[in-house]
Amino acid sequence: MTPATAPPDERAAVTEALARLPRVADLLAARAEEHDRDGTFPYQGVEAVHEAGLLTLTVARRHGGAGAGLADTVRVLAALGRGDASVAVLAAHTLLLHAEQDRAGLWPAAAYRRVLTESRRGPALLGALRSDPGAPATVAHWDGEAWELTGRKHDCSGAEALAWMAVPARTDEAVPRTGLFLVRGDSPGLEIDPVWDQLGLRASAGHDVVLDRVRVAPELAVRLTAPGRETPEQRAADDTARAWHDLALAAVHLGTAHAARDWLVRFLRLRTPANLTEPLATLPRHRSALGEIEAALIGAEEVLTAVAAAVDRGDPGAAARSAAAHLLAGRAANAAVQQAVALSGSPGLSRRHPLERYLRDVLSSRTHFPPDDAVLDALAAAALERGGPRRSG
């Protein structure tokens, strides 16, 4: 039984957590400008998400969690993205790893019990570090007792505060294998290089993680597989994990676009230029443009919600549709915020208002996804394959 169709009593924990969302989003919004300006880590925001039960919402019911599915996760992250996109990104990575444990048992039982114990004591952020194109550059060497990891990972969201990291690496064996190595954030030999100084998502602390012979117990090396040896089940699991990632992160940025829409509505209602006697909200051109923004955001939200619900139901084609869903949502979010800036003019670009931060944050969404042309090429390839053999002559 999927979370979306679970009996009411089994959804009680999810429902209670969702009811806390508006207050948490408001708390995040109150501190977002400060952390963005200073580039400081939003510890209080992460704590607020944790205390509301949202940071562990996808922990399985068999482990004492709420067992939220992807549709609920999308809703949570869109709301958090309205408050502070940086905090929402940090929450997303943690929620994704708990959900993957529920689906596929990524963590060994003893290690995951430790993760859950830490999560009960306070916020325990988890992060799947970025995988390099092709074979991972990070190398794992077996010393006879444990694996030793050496390498550098870039753009690691929340790097300075991660309790655990899932690190993609390749072995230096005669026939290299690739897999994930579960690493404590305070492991000897692991250092954080504080290089994150991006245009947007400034509080997400996407610093580099440097590993210098970091020892990992053999049971914490998971999914070690030689190239081309993946099973159909593993490929299906990877597709589902990718769908969760794509829709969850798209929800964050769609939430940011909703915050920009909300700011624009207030601006249009209150702004009366010197050459007018009525607010900008009365002008047909501005109303039409606002309607375009509203229509685009409604459409993108409906697409994300529908595909997420299909993933929860186990629809075999849903994972493949997630790439198109995140592409459409990302485009809608970017277009909505840029149109809001165009409508508001100079005030929208002033650091006295949050709209310019929303613009920077949605522009930074591209760091979480492959380039649009790669997504479009994959969609085209799938469409051509479904079309059957091409006729000659």
Q: What is the pLDDT of residue 135?
A: 78
- Claim to verify: residue 90 and residue 67 sit in the same structural domain: yes
Can you give the pTM of this predicted structure?
A: 0.93
Looking at the domain assignment, is residue 375 inside a domain? yes
Angle at which helices 43-51 and 85-104 cross, to 10°:
50
Q: Is 255 exposed, middle or buried (0-12, 13-18, 19+ CB in 10 A)?
A: buried
- Claim to verify: residue 239 and residue 303 sit in the same structural domain: yes
Q: What is the pLDDT of residue 200?
A: 97
Looking at the domain assignment, is residue 393 inside a domain? no
- Claim to verify: residue 300 and residue 163 sit in the same structural domain: no
Q: What is the pLDDT of residue 9?
A: 67
Task: Residue 67: give its domain's CATH number.
Answer: 1.10.540.10
Task: Residue 320: give its domain's CATH number.
Answer: 1.20.140.10
Residue ranges making up the domain that contains 273: 232-386
How far apart CA 281 and CA 343 sit, in angstroms, is 11
**pLDDT tens digits in sequence order for the chain, 393 residues long:** 455 555 556 789 899 999 999 999 999 999 999 999 999 999 999 999 999 999 999 999 999 999 999 999 999 999 999 999 999 999 999 999 999 999 999 999 999 999 999 999 999 999 999 877 767 899 999 999 999 999 999 999 999 999 999 999 999 999 999 999 999 999 999 999 999 999 999 999 999 999 999 999 999 999 998 877 778 888 888 899 999 999 999 999 999 999 999 999 999 999 998 888 899 999 999 999 999 999 999 999 999 999 999 999 999 899 999 999 999 999 999 999 999 999 999 999 999 999 999 999 999 988 888 889 999 999 999 899 887 655 554
Handedness of CA 249, 252, 257, 261 (dihedral sign): positive
How far apart CA 87 and CA 353 sit, in angstroms, is 19
Looking at the domain assignment, is residue 107 inside a domain? yes
**Among 232, 230, 383, 240, which Cα is nearest to 316's?**
240
Cα atoms in the 13 Å half-sphere on the side-chain side of 1: 9
Q: 183, 147 in Cβ contact below 8 A?
A: no
Looking at the domain assignment, is residue 129 inside a domain? no
Looking at the domain assignment, is residue 132 inside a domain? no
Buried b (16+ CB within 10 A) or exposed e, 352-367: eebbbbbbbbbbbbeb
- Claim to verify: residue 274 and residue 351 sit in the same structural domain: yes
Residue ending a domain, choose from 225, 250, 285:
225
Q: 192, 159 in Cβ contact below 8 A?
A: yes
Q: What is the pLDDT of residue 347?
A: 94
Looking at the domain assignment, is residue 242 inside a domain? yes
Q: What is the pLDDT of residue 18?
A: 94
- In sequence order, which residues have a C-beta less than 8 Å from that of residue 259 and are 6 or more positions away? 29, 81, 82, 83, 354, 358
Q: 168, 131 in Cβ contact below 8 A?
A: yes
Q: What is the pLDDT of residue 227?
A: 78
- Claim to verify: residue 321 and residue 376 sit in the same structural domain: yes
- Claim to verify: residue 164 and residue 111 sit in the same structural domain: no
Q: Is 60 left (phi over 0), alpha (psi -120 to 50) or beta?
A: beta
Looking at the domain assignment, is residue 352 inside a domain? yes
- Claim to verify: residue 309 and residue 335 sit in the same structural domain: yes
Looking at the domain assignment, is residue 392 inside a domain? no
Entry field: residues in the chain: 393
* Number of domains the chain contains: 3
- Claim to verify: residue 153 and residue 96 sit in the same structural domain: no
Residue ending a domain, choose from 185, 201, 225:
225
Q: 226, 59 in Cβ contact below 8 A?
A: no
- Claim to verify: residue 86 and residue 206 sit in the same structural domain: no
Q: Nearest 5°: phi and psi at 168? A: -70, 135
- Claim to verify: residue 218 and residue 236 sit in the same structural domain: no
Tokens found for residue 168: 């993609």
Residue ending a domain, choose from 225, 247, 267:
225
Cα atoms in the 13 Å half-sphere on the side-chain side of 202: 19
Q: 48, 90 in Cβ contact below 8 A?
A: no
Q: 305, 64 in Cβ contact below 8 A?
A: no
Q: What is the pLDDT of residue 393?
A: 45
∠223-224-229 over CA atoms, to 5°? 95
- Claim to verify: residue 237 and residue 215 sit in the same structural domain: no
Task: Residue 184: give its domain's CATH number.
Answer: 2.40.110.10
**Among 163, 52, 77, which Cα is nearest to 117's?**
163
How far apart CA 270 and CA 69 sit, in angstroms, is 40
- Claim to verify: residue 163 and residue 64 sit in the same structural domain: no
